[in-house]
Structure 1
Amino acid sequence: MPHSVTLTNARVVTPDGVHDGWLRVADGRVSELGSGEAPDGPAYDAGGGWVVPGLVDTHVHGGAGHAFPDADPDGVREIVAFNRARGVTSMVGGLVAATPEDTLRQVAALAESCESGELAGLYLEGPFIARSKCGAHDPALLRDPDTAEFDRWLKAGRGHVRMVTVAPELPGATELIRAAVSNGVVAAVGHTEASYEQTRAAFDAGATVATHLYNAMRPLNHRDPGPIAASLEDERVAVELIVDNVHVHPGAAKLVFAAAGAGRVSLVTDAMSATGLGDGEYTLGDLRVRVSGGEARLVDTGAIASSTIVLPQAVRNAVEALGVDVPEAVRSASSVPAAALGLEGAGRIAVGGRADLVVLDADLAVSRVMFHGEWTR
């Protein structure tokens, strides 16, 4: 890899819009954006394709046969390498409900993967969620929010716990949300039976993310709007959406983009270990999962259990199935999730910024990926 390279003939998605021209990378950073004739030196012709920020997945549990709850450093590296080669340059490692002892062990082990630069942080989807909306979490492992347990996570995580999902209706939820926010951790609302009023109260207490909207959540009803309406109307809230054409019908997903508007929809995968491996039987936490036709469901209950897509597929689905324009779909998978979790330097193309870049062809397929100024294999 040359010390510097210019990406030419490119449509560059920046925070301010689409820049047609060229982009120069030097010393691992974007050094210049320009139009017209590109500077002399090593170049890569993007062929008129899109150059977009490295994508940011803030809700993912595994891939390539490995799972973050296993807390195995080699497995983490495999998940990260698998995603990075496909355009996801920043990831937050997602955990599922486990015993207090296992959760502490997982958090402590994965904090090392954050310190080594493999992960951008940690996300705990359980255990403070509703049993009736447990989804693919073991209901026997769910418990009421406990700020003392949360404090133990913070100590074990050494500053790397980024987000926790809480069901607002549970006893102690408001205290947990306030404790999270006061410690710089994003509080998310999800896996919940909460009413509209309870959800609004959670946002007023400081929660700023809705976990995979629609899924494992009290449904929208015109006399009982619940957490879906409360999340869509609140400008303070980033709304996660799994666009794999399994978790959410395209018609319902279109409503999210229409209601939340640009800048608040955060595309996530919720992907599991089976991602990239095809159909078969796998595990999520301690639960058995069967994947058929790319659709993952719990063996025992038939409940949907995570997805098997990588984030660029969600971008393509948003464009092709929902009619979202390319720049908005890209931002929903890069700058929006990065901002929602405060991941500095991720998800944006700007002069002086980190050169994490993805080249997409006319069909939005990934052509090349650059991480910290170096092309990945």
Structure 2
Amino acid sequence: MTSLLIHNIQIAIPDGSIIEGEIVVENGKIATVSNALMKDFTGERMDGQGCLVLPGFIDIHIHGANGADFMDGDNGSIERIAMALPKEGTTSFLATTLTQSDGDIAKAVDAGRRFMELNESGAEMLGFHLEGPFIHPEQAGAQPVEFIRKPSFELVERWFGEDLDHLKIVTLAPECDEGLEMTERLTERGIIVSGGHTNASFADIREAAEHGLSHLTHFGNAMSGLHHREIGAVGAGFLLEQLHCEVIADGIHLSEDMLLLGNKTIGPERIILITDSMRAKGLPDGSYTLAGQDVQVVGAKATLSDGTLAGSVLKMDEAVRMMRDIGSGLLDLIRMSSTNAARRLGVFDRKGSIEAGKDADLVLMDADFQVQATICRGKVSFCRE
């Protein structure tokens, strides 16, 4: 049995309060969370140096990092991403696809499945987020329009099998889903249906929500905007309480004022922080690719040649700091970075909070909310010198 005692720490417990104490990890699980000192512990010890311990971050929408992309379709690329993510406090993620050919998507899914069987180190892959190809061409953003398809449940079954193994989220344009048949069928199978890359009116989103739509992809981006006579998909995110909203909190995809408005109007119970990052994350400025398209990365911004945003290079700890800076309290930061995603994905029984019996997915942060160490399923996956 492998045991680890993390001491000299401040622990963010589920109600958002902080206790000074220790965490004992055994065989990848949190064994005890205590404010008492364990003097007779005989396993490995880790001095947390007064850091604040939060539940590991869960990124449900990420395309790549560290020079790799899930659409590369090989285990090596997925491993590079999984090993890079703990540096930003991310302990689990959904591999997110892009609008590409049927064959390329099948290849990416097959590689992801193989990786999940072997994934013992780094951040844990929890499944897939299928973003596209069932989107509206006028809201394609950085998704290649030549591969856009009408929603097809049969195609999804071809990629993921009849049991839809490991498929967690499907992003689609609901106005392109005839009779909302696919939305209903996916919802019946327990798959989260998310409106994204969509020209849908508010009425379209409301109707889709009545048939199971419960999520909006990268809220505010690649969707019909807010107008005083037609509030669109953005207005639906504000108004419909059954919708959870992915938020890219980088000050680029959404301004700080919009983040503040969203935080007050949507609320931290419905916001899920994501990165939507591409392969350039963690690498220097320069030229990269996304779905075969040239992307220029300068500072915190990744764009196609025409200026279209091409994902991001955002890290999850940066998103958390951004939300902290606009006034979010600790409990809300935990919800937006971990708890809400865990609940949505049906893994809150083992992730999303620091409690005995759950996976030891932990991030240690200093007073400036900089990641000092990350533990994934009981293993120290990142430790700053």
Q: Do both share a fold (TM > 0.5)?
A: yes
175-184 or 197-206, larger mean C-alpha shift: 175-184
Gaps of 5+ in 2: none
Instruction: Give the distance between the partners of 2:143 and 2:205, measured in 1 at CA.
Output: 21
- Which of 71, 90, 99 aligns to 1:69? It is 71
1:333-372 equivalences under 5 Å are 333-344=337-348, 345-372=350-377
Gaps of 5+ in 1: none
Instruction: Give the distance between the partners of 2:135 and 2:352, measured in 1 at CA.
Output: 29
Instruction: Give the distance between the partners of 1:159 and 1:247, measured in 2 at CA.
Output: 32
1:257-268 equivalences under 5 Å are 257-268=263-274
Deviation at 1:34, TM superposition (A): 1.9
One-letter identity of the residue aligned with 2:322: N
Q: Is the 8 A contact 1:92 1:122 kept in 2?
A: yes
Percent identical: 32
> In structure 2, what is the equivalent of residue 90 of structure 1?
92
SS in 2 for 1:331: helix
SS in 1 for 2:174: coil
Instruction: Give the distance between the partners of 1:247 and 1:264, measured in 2 at CA.
Output: 18
TM-score by length of 1: 0.94
- Which of 220, 239, 245 aligns to 1:239? It is 245
Residue 308 (structure 1) aligned with residue 313 (structure 2): yes
Residue 32 (structure 1) aligned with residue 32 (structure 2): yes
- The 1:173–1:258 alpha-carbon spacing in structure 2 relative to 1, beyond 3 Å, is farther
> In structure 2, what is the equivalent of residue 284 of structure 1?
290
Instruction: Give the distance between the partners of 2:38 and 2:261, measured in 1 at CA.
Output: 42
Instruction: Give the distance between the partners of 1:177 and 1:67, measured in 2 at CA.
Output: 27
> In structure 1, what is the equivalent of residue 185 of structure 2?
179
State the Cα deviation string for residues 354-373 of structure 1 (Å, max 9, x = none): 11111000000001111121
- Which of 135, 145, 149 aligns to 1:129? It is 135
Deviation at 1:330, TM superposition (A): 2.7
1:243-258 equivalences under 5 Å are 243-258=249-264
One-letter identity of the residue aligned with 1:185: I
Deviation at 1:46, TM superposition (A): 2.8
Deviation at 1:38, TM superposition (A): 4.4
SS in 1 for 2:126: coil
One-letter identity of the residue aligned with 1:210: L
Deviation at 1:158, TM superposition (A): 5.5
Instruction: Give the distance between the partners of 1:74 and 1:138, measured in 2 at CA.
Output: 25
Instruction: Give the distance between the partners of 1:71 and 1:234, measured in 2 at CA.
Output: 37
Q: RMSD between aligned alpha carbons?
A: 1.8
Alignment coverage as a number of residue pairs: 374
TM-score by length of 2: 0.92
> In structure 2, what is the equivalent of residue 228 of structure 1?
234
- Which of 218, 222, 226 aligns to 1:212? It is 218
- Which of 374, 378, 381 aligns to 1:376? It is 381
> In structure 1, what is the equivalent of residue 327 of structure 2?
323
Q: Is the 8 A contact 1:209 1:340 kept in 2?
A: no
Deviation at 1:127, TM superposition (A): 0.6
State the Cα deviation string for residues 172-222 of structure 1 (Å, max 9, x = none): 261111121122211101111111111011111111111011001111112
State the Cα deviation string for residues 298-340 of structure 1 (Å, max 9, x = none): 12x21011010221111011112x2112331232111111222
Q: Is the 8 A contact 1:9 1:20 kept in 2?
A: no
> In structure 1, what is the equivalent of residue 5 of structure 2?
6
Q: Is the 8 A contact 2:87 2:371 kept in 1?
A: no
213-222 or 102-111, larger mean C-alpha shift: 102-111
